[in-house]
């Protein structure tokens, strides 16, 4: 019988052979994690500073989270939203009071959450702000990363994320990140703006930290122009920048907050 040596190369070859080549990972094969540590398949230990781009801020395999997961999995794994369940309302109360928002809508991925924020902006624009049907526009920043759906890649400035995925979804205006004059100009010129979608710190175009006051001024301009300020804190939220939210550094609130919570 042939003995297969399941080393780093073995697992990398498997992914290369059978998985879509949509990512270019570093050549380390994670096998298990505990708190801040990760071990690879050859037993080498690492600090995990990336923590799945913030999806495991709490550390790997936190015992309380694993326990809750196991208890719930043995009781009820899934229920349709056609019914109520004994967990959702209490979770919604907890999370909205933690962040000071009226309502929450849980999603499976960040991209879905961004899509939902775009839909809320547009619906609000037509039903409350009075923008004519199909004319609403959303301002986004060059260098953004908000996910990989067809609508979101339509307003990406990264050719790898965008090229050859057209036809693209209309209704987005790109401006330079951290350029308050550019935002002011579009808001002054265009009466059909529904929202301004921004990462408080851009995460994929490098780590782009805005100038002091940029976010507060952007929020003020949005208020003055009756435009929703939408903060994508998927990468910056839950204390990744030293405060609960990155926008807390400027003492502002978003009209819509997009957040990544707990994954095991």
Enumerate binding residues for ligand PLP (CB under 6 A). Answer: 53, 109-111, 114, 145-147, 199, 203, 232, 234-235
Beta carbon of residue 235, minimum distance to ligand PLP (angstroms, whole number): 4
- 233 touches 247 (CB < 8 A): yes
Q: Residue 78: phi, psi to the nearest 5?
A: -155, 140
Adjacency order of strands within the sheet including 37-40: 30-34, 37-40, 45-47
Beta carbon of residue 161, minimum distance to ligand PLP (angstroms, whole number): 11
* Residue number with CB closer to ligand PLP (153 or 194): 153
| Nearest C-alpha neighbor of 222 from the set 129, 100, 130 | 129
* Residue number with CB closer to ligand PLP (99 or 126): 99
> Which single residue brings its beta carbon nearest to ligand PLP?
110
Angle at 109 between CA 108 and CA 112, to 5 degrees: 95
Rg, Å, the chain Cα set: 21
Beta carbon of residue 111, minimum distance to ligand PLP (angstroms, whole number): 3
Asked if omega into 167 is within 30° of 0 (cis), the reply is yes
Beta carbon of residue 175, minimum distance to ligand PLP (angstroms, whole number): 17
* Residue number with CB closer to ligand PLP (89 or 106): 106
* Residue number with CB closer to ligand PLP (147 or 210): 147
Beta carbon of residue 8, minimum distance to ligand PLP (angstroms, whole number): 25
């Amino acid at each position: 019988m042939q003995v297969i040596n399941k080393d780093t190369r073995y697992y990398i070859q498997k992914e290369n052979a059978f998985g879509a080549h949509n990512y270019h990972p570093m050549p380390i094969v994670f096998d298990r994690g505990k708190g801040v540590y990760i071990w690879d398949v050859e037993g080498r230990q690492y600090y995990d500073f990336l923590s799945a781009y913030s999806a495991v801020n709490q550390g790997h395999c936190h015992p309380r989270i694993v326990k809750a997961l196991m208890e719930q999995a043995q009781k009820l794994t899934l229920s349709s939203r056609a019914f109520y369940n004994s967990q959702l309302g209490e979770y919604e109360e907890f999370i909205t009071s933690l962040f000071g928002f009226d309502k929450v809508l849980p999603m499976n991925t960040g991209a879905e959450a961004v899509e939902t924020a775009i839909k809320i902006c547009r619906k609000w624009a037509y039903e409350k702000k009075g923008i004519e049907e199909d004319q609403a526009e959303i301002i986004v920043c060059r260098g953004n990363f908000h996910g990989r759906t067809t609508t979101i890649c339509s307003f990406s400035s990264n050719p790898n994320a965008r090229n050859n995925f057209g036809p693209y979804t209309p209704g987005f205006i790109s401006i330079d990140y951290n350029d308050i004059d550019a935002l002011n100009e579009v808001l002054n010129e265009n009466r059909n703006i529904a929202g301004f979608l921004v990462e408080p710190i851009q995460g994929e175009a490098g780590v782009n930290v805005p100038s002091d006051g940029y976010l507060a001024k952007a929020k003020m301009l949005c208020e003055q122009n009756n435009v929703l300020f939408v903060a994508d804190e998927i990468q910056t939220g839950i204390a990744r920048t030293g405060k609960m939210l990155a926008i807390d550094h400027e003492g502002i609130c978003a009209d819509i907050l997009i957040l990544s919570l707990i994954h095991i």
